[in-house]
Structure 1
Amino acid sequence: MATKQSLLALVLLAAAVCTLLPSASAVTNFETCKKGKDYPVKVTGVEIVPDPIQTGQPATFKISASTDETITNGKLVVDVKYFFFNVYSETDDICTKTTCPATADFELAHSQTLPSFTPPGSYTITMKLLGENDKELSCISFGFSIGFLAPIALS
């Protein structure tokens, strides 16, 4: 028969393991790059799948947004920092990340597989949406983590 102490230890161990397992996705807090600026595209949410990100596995950043304008072309500019060091930059056609023309409510999705040698820890990503003539439509930044442990497959 299990003692109260061994049962409590088992419950605490299970809780600790659950906190180490990556979640399927997470809604992430974000900030606009320029406080108080009235961007034509309003970001309403950021979701990271999976969270934390695992090296060697695909990760997707989903940006929910809305606009009163019709976006027919433009660029998505992504910059990633590890501490204060810029470690990655990419510029893509916005219409490869969402359906164009984008109007009203829409979602941008950017997927990336990080190399297995990517160091674990906390990163900051800045995403800018640029329209015609590089007009800044929106700019946000948010943090994300790359996990220390490989995901555990549950069957």
Structure 2
Amino acid sequence: MSKFTGFSSLAISYFLLVSTIVAATDVHYCDNNEEYEVKVQGVDITPYPIARGEPATFRISANTDTKISSGKLVIEVSYFGWHIHSETHDLCDETSCPVAIGDFLVAHSQVLPGYTPPGSYSLKMKMLDGRKKELTCIKFSFDIGFGSSVADM
């Protein structure tokens, strides 16, 4: 047995222990009959479940047949079916613009307040071009765990 075999096993075990959990979530289009110009392949959320008061990153992998020079992301969040939050972001702050034809990634990081209740949430995201034309609309669910709280801050 090589002296490096034990080291590599230990290193792999350590990496698996401390690596951040990433969850790929099921994504649904808002309108299954719509032919969106941007096709979403998936959403990865890190860490998962999301911890209150800690940074969370949403990575959306997508593909487009058209060049996108500008636009907006409109995000709506619901908790137990109740709309609780809306925000709008410049698309070019979340990905490199112009977006070329082909695959691209939209990434958004945010720290949820420590008072955010744990549980299951749903998110609806619309991507609009510079003329406010809807390029895609997706929905997915995510969980917020019992991680950090106001008392921890």
TM-score (norm 1): 0.80
Q: Output the CA distance in 2 between the equivalents of 1:134 and 1:86.
A: 22
Within 2, Cα distance between the matches of 1:34 and 1:60?
25
Identity over aligned residues, as a percent? 51
Runs of 4+ aligned residues of structure 1 deviating over 3 Å after TM superposition are none
Residue in structure 1 matched with residue 87 of structure 2 by the alignment:
90
Q: Does the residue aligned with 2:135 lie in a helix, a strand or coil? A: strand
Q: Cα RMSD between the aligned structures?
A: 1.3
Gaps of 5+ in 2: 1-18, 149-153
* 1:128-152, Cα deviation, whole Å (9 max, x unpaired): 00013210000000000000245xx
User: What is the distance in 2 between the residues matched to 1:76 and 1:136?
Assistant: 10
CA contact (8 A) 2:58 2:108 kept: yes
TM-score by length of 2: 0.81
Q: Tell me, in whole angstroms, the C-alpha distance in 2 between the residues paired with 1:102 and 1:112.
A: 23
Amino acid of the structure 2 residue aligned with 1:97: E
The whole-number CA distance in structure 2 between the counterparts of 1:59 and 1:28 is: 14
Whether 1:38 aligns to 2:28 is: no
Structure 1 residues without counterparts, runs of 5 or longer: 1-21, 151-155
CA offset digits 1:32-67 (Å, max 9, x no partner):
000121100000110000110000000011000000
Residue pairs, 1:48-127, within 5 angstroms: 48-103=45-100, 104-127=102-125
